Amino acid sequence: MAEVAVQQEKEALFSKKRVKLLTDPLNDNNPVTVQVLGICSALAITVQVKPALFMFAGVFFVVVMGNIVVSLLRNVIPNRVRIIAQLVIVAGLVSIVDMVLKAYAYDVSKQLSVFVGLIITNCIVMGRLEAFAMANKPWPSALDGIGNAFGYGILLVLVAVVRELFGAGKLMGYKIIPDSFYEFGYVNNGMMMMPPMALILVGIIIWVQRSRNTKLVEAED
Amino acid sequence: MALNKESNGYVILFSTALVLVTAVALVTVFSFTRDTVSNNQKLEKMQNILQAARINVERDQAETKYKESITDAFALTEKGEVKMKGEVDNVFNIDLAAELKKKEGEEKLFPVFVCNKNDSTFYILGMRGKGLWDAIWGYVALGKDMNTIYNAVFDHKGETPGLGAEIKEGWYTAQFPGKKIVNDKGEFVSVSVIKKGTAPESDYNVDGVSGGTLTSNGLHDMLKMFFGAFYEYSKTQKNAAPAKPEPVALPADSLQQPDTLATALVPVDSSKNNTTTTNL
């Protein structure tokens, strides 16, 4: 059996080990900066902060729910078709998100447009299902999902803030950089609008993170 | 476990069950949300049509205001023949995506809504075209002279945010009011979407979106097609006066006409020269 269930029958709901599931992805094991997953969407929807937040909400729902569902099914999913089974579950969840947004948050869904569907292709989702939910119980899986969604969301918003502020002089659509700056010759950086700039920003964030977090630095030999 | 999880039979059984459960879940959610979604879309369409006539309403009031303002509607064929005269609801329900898919030779119907606002009449043209990734569409209101643009709204399904998607933003559509589709000689010129600086600024062109060339081109083609049909129709109407257009009452903020209005040299497609001024 491909089951490596962690023995934690009587473990507290928020034991140290479980809190670590939540906090680890925020820094030490961030899905974007350390595992370098989900880069594609980090490039695509970080031009403005607002869509980035909605994307985070969508990914949050899909990762957490997907983790729980897959974790519940982990003992009945045949090993040979596990990836395609995970994909069906993720695609189903994403379609539900899409439909619910269209019905009850029509403007949000318009703003996100194609990117809702693109959650399916987010490597973090499949990555967590395959690496964690397939081998763990629902509750730890849910915590793991929450942690990773936040790890992803933090980075997304960080990149989006920089791109929107310097690319358009706005945040959340509101003007931040005053007109007087422009009169003195300040110009919005058009490069920030381009996807490659997101990659460069992610690179800079990884650099800063590694120089501050010694755990991430590979031992010199 | 007695069951062999890796046997073919189990895999098939599992896959079938999983797909069935997922399908049932999706159908359930869909049937719960379908009505709300289509109502949202209907109201949004009404909002957009009204917005083209500079009537801004909240979504929940869109229907009342729409029924109040849109007094008439008809459909035009590509040659400008009038169909569905007065069938306001049917015209509203014209699915332009389906109309544009019709093969050559089949009759395509383009919706036109007649809006009455403070005793002035506007013709609101429903439009649809192709952007870079997917469909783009919009509503453009022309004044009583059937020539001068009063306002325009555009939207898109999936253009690149920050680039092609900018066509729906206010700063972009603000270029349109005051532009004309028929030149001083009474020839149809449409409104061209071209890069600023490549042609003299005139009443007949607007700037494209930098970085969104393919979207801009799609917009250009869309405008030409739908204005074209409407121009053919306008030739049959009395109140259209292409040579000496009546000034349309434009709000002061939208009057940004270039000084070179009279001398503007507009590159006229030579193929259009045969459609001369029969209505003068």
**Res. B238 pLDDT band, cuts 50 70 90:** low
Q: What is the DSSP string of B182-219?
A: B-TTS-B---EEE-TTSS---TTEEE--TT-HHHHHHH
Tell me whether B162 touches chain A (CB under 8 Å).
yes
| Predicted confidence band of residue B31 (pLDDT cuts 50, 70, 90) | very high
Q: What angle do CA A188, A194, A198 make, to 5 degrees?
A: 100
Pairing of strands B149-156, B82-83: unpaired
Q: Mind telling me how many Å the CA of A162 is from chain B's nearest CA?
A: 15
In order of A8, A19, B201, B280, the CA distances from A136 in angstroms are 10, 15, 66, 81
Average pLDDT over chain B, rounded to an integer = 81
Cβ-Cβ pairs closer than 8 A, A with B, add up to 71
Question: Does the structure show a pLDDT above 80 at B9?
Answer: yes
In sequence order, the 6+-apart residues with CB closer than 8 A to the CB of B175 are B206, B207
Q: Find the angle CA(A178)-CA(A180)-CA(A186) to the nearest 5 degrees.
A: 85
ipTM confidence score:
0.73
Lowest-pLDDT range of A52-56, A68-72, A143-147: A52-56
Contact B19 A77 (CB under 8 A): no
How far A21 CA sits from the closest chain B CA (Å)?
Answer: 28
Q: Are A60 and A143 in contact (CB under 8 A)?
A: no
Q: How confident is the model at residue A21 (pLDDT cuts 50, 70, 90)?
A: confident
Minimal-distance CA residue of chain A relative to B9: A78
Show residues of chain A in contact with B158, CB under 8 Å.
Answer: 113-114
Q: Do A92 and B5 touch (CB under 8 A)?
A: no
Distance of CA B164 to the CA centre of its chain: 15
**B130 CB contacts (<8 Å, ≥6 apart)?**
B136, B218, B221, B222
CB neighbour burial string for B213-247, b if at least 16 within 10 angstroms, e if fewer? ebbbbbbbebbbbbbbbbbbbbbeeeebbbeebee
- Considering just the CA atoms, what is the radius of gyration of chain A in Å? 19
- Nearest chain B residue to A70 by CA distance is B18
Average pLDDT, stretch A4-17? 61
Among A85, A92, A102, select the one facing B25 at the smallest CB separation.
A92
Domain boundaries, chain A: 38-197
Q: How far is A113 from chain B (nearest CA, A)?
A: 6
CB spacing of A106 vs B44 below 8 angstroms: yes
What are A's interface residues with B at a Cβ cutoff of 8 A? Answer: 45, 47-48, 51, 76-81, 84-85, 88-89, 91-92, 95-96, 99-100, 102-104, 106, 113-114, 167-168, 193
Q: Give yes or no for B58 touching A (CB within 8 A).
A: no
Cα Rg, chain B, nearest whole Å: 23
Q: Is B158 an interface residue toward A (CB < 8 Å)? A: yes
Question: How many Å apart are CA B87 and CA B91, to the nearest integer?
Answer: 6
Which pLDDT does position B29 carry in this prediction?
93
Say if residues B219 and B129 touch (Cβ distance below 8 Å): yes
Give the containing element (helix H, strand E) for A103.
helix A82-104
- A18: Cβ–Cβ under 8 A, 6 or more apart, which residues? A11, A12, A139, A140, A143
Average pLDDT over residues B143-168: 87
Q: Is B269's pLDDT higher than 50? A: no
Taking alpha carbons only, the member of A47, A58, A59 closest to residue A171 is A47
CA distance B14 to chain A (A): 7
pLDDT band at B159 (very low <50, low <70, confident <90, very high): confident
- Verify whether the Cβ–Cβ distance A102 to B37 is below 8 Å: yes
Chain B CB contacts of A102 below 8 Å: 33, 37, 40
Task: Identify residue A93 by its one-letter amino acid code.
Answer: L
B158 to A114: CB separation less than 8 angstroms, yes or no? yes
The 8-class DSSP code of residue B143 comes to -
Q: Do B15 and A85 touch (CB under 8 A)?
A: yes
Residue of A110, A116, A175 best to disrupt the B interface, most CBs of B under 10 A: A110
pLDDT of residue B30: 93
Write out chain A residues lying below 8 Å of B44, CB-based.
106
SS3 state at B145: coil
pLDDT at B271 over 80: no
In angstroms, the CA A135 to CA A140 distance is: 10
In 3-state terms chain A splits into helix, strand, coil percentages (rounded to 5) of 70, 0, 30
Residue in B1, B3, B5, B157 to test binding to A, most A beta-carbons within 10 Å = B5
Q: How far is CA B253 from CA A43, B50, B167, in A?
A: 37, 19, 19
User: DSSP string spanning B77-140?
Assistant: -TT--EESTT-HHHHHT--HHHHHHSPTTSPP-EEEEEEEETTEEEEEEEEEEE-SSSEEEEEE
**Least confident window among A12-26, B15-29, B33-47, B251-265:** B251-265
Assess contact for A87 and A62: CB atoms under 8 A.
no
Spatial contact of B5 and A78, defined as CB atoms under 8 Å apart: yes
How far is the C-alpha of B71 from the C-alpha of A217, rounded, in Å? 71
